[in-house]
Amino acid sequence: MRQGQRGQRVREPLYTPQERRRRDSTRWTLVQGILAPLQFLVFLVSLALVVRYLATGEGFFAATVSVVIKTLVLYTIMITGSIWEKVVFGRYLFARPFFWEDVFSIAVLALHTAYLVAVAAGGLGSTGQMYLALAAYAAYVINAGQFLFKLRQARLEAVDSGDNVGGVPEYAR
């Protein structure tokens, strides 16, 4: 934030005009736009399976496979998101507008990776593993909320500037 006229705080725009052009012209924007809802769908299915196991004691294998798949999708979206960030902002992680989202993403990755380690090592027992998955999922929901907030902010900035709506490139509409 910076000080505007009359001392009020003014929010820095998410993108400079050059960054907006790079965002709108890269195919990685479309890749992120596809992977994000896919990841959320995988999350919902997996969450249902994890909760089912914790509630009934049934379906441990299905729940485990679903969390592993969710984690692999998370890794994919993090790698492609880092490439997107490099193309748009010139750095793979921790670009100014997404610094705190990236910090929290690392925590989400750490929890999901801890789950994979627990499964591979046979640690925590089946119930402990599922509770670790829930902790990873809670962090994921918070992180997804951060990114949705930034998407909304980008859309509002686009409307205010008369730019394309929502930062969605023309070819992706």
Segments of the chain assigned E as strands: 2-3, 9-10
Of 133, 27, 23, 35, nearest to 76 by C-alpha is: 35
Per DSSP, 97 falls in state G
> What is the pLDDT at residue 44?
98
Is a pLDDT exceeding 60 seen at residue 173? Answer: no
The tokens of 134 are what?
Answer: 């829930």
32 Cβ partners below 8 Å, 6+ apart? 77, 80, 81, 84
Please write the tens of the pLDDT for every residue from 88-116: 999 999 999 999 999 999 999 999 999 99
pLDDT at 157: 82
Ramachandran category for residue 8: left, alpha or beta (phi over 0 → left; psi -120 to 50 → alpha): beta
9: helix, coil or strand?
A: strand
pTM comes to 0.84
For the stretch 38-82, pLDDT in tens is: 999 999 999 999 999 999 999 999 999 999 999 999 999 999 999
For the record, the structure tokens of 154 come out as 């980008």
What is the pLDDT, as a whole number, of residue 5? 58
Q: Kindly state the tokens that stand for 28.
A: 């990685």
Distance of CA 71 to the CA centre of its chain: 12
Task: Name the pLDDT band for 20 (thresholds 50, 70, 90).
Answer: very high
pLDDT at 8: 63
